[in-house]
A = this chain, B = another copy of it.
Amino acid sequence: MQDNTSDTVRRGAADPSIGAALMARLDAFAAFSEEPGALTRLFLTPEHAAAAKQLSGWMAEAGMTVRTDALGTVIGRYEGTAPGMPALLLGSHIDTVRNAGKYDGNLGVLAALAAVQELNRRGERLPFAVEVLGFGDEEGVRFPVTLTSSRAVGGTLTPAMMEVADREGVTLSDALRAFGGDPGGIAGAARRDALGYVELHIEQGPVLEAENLPVGIVTAINGATRLTATVTGMAGHAGTVPMALRRDALAAAAEMVLAVEATALETPDLVATVGRIAAEPGAVNVIPSRAVFTIDARSSSDATRRAGLDAITGRLRAVAARRGLDLSLETGHEATATACAPGLIRQLESAVERCGFRPLRLASGAGHDAMAVAAAMPVGMLFVRCRGGISHHPAESITAEDAGTAVAVLLDFLRHFDPSNLAA
Contact = CB atoms under 8 A, between A and B. Distances in A.
Interface stretch (A80-88, A119-127, A128-136, A199-207): A199-207
A286 to B, nearest CB: 5
A237 B204 contact: yes
Given A251-B258, A258-B258, A287-B273, A365 B203 contact: no
Q: How many copies does the complex hold?
A: 2
Interface stretch (A46-54, A275-283, A404-412): A275-283
Contacts of A286: 273, 275
Contact of A243 (B242, B245, B265, B367): B265
A207 B246 CA distance: 11
B265 A275 contact: no
A239 B204 CA distance: 9
B258 A205 contact: no
Interface in A357-381: 364-367
A394 interface: no
A241 B298 contact: no
A46 to B, nearest CB: 28
A238 B389 contact: no
A392 B239 CA distance: 13
A210 interface: yes
7 contacts: A205-B242, A236-B389, A254-B274, A258-B258, A276-B282, A276-B284, A278-B278
Given A237-B389, A243-B272, A250-B275, 7 more contacts: A207-B242, A226-B284, A238-B365, A243-B265, A250-B277, A251-B261, A275-B279
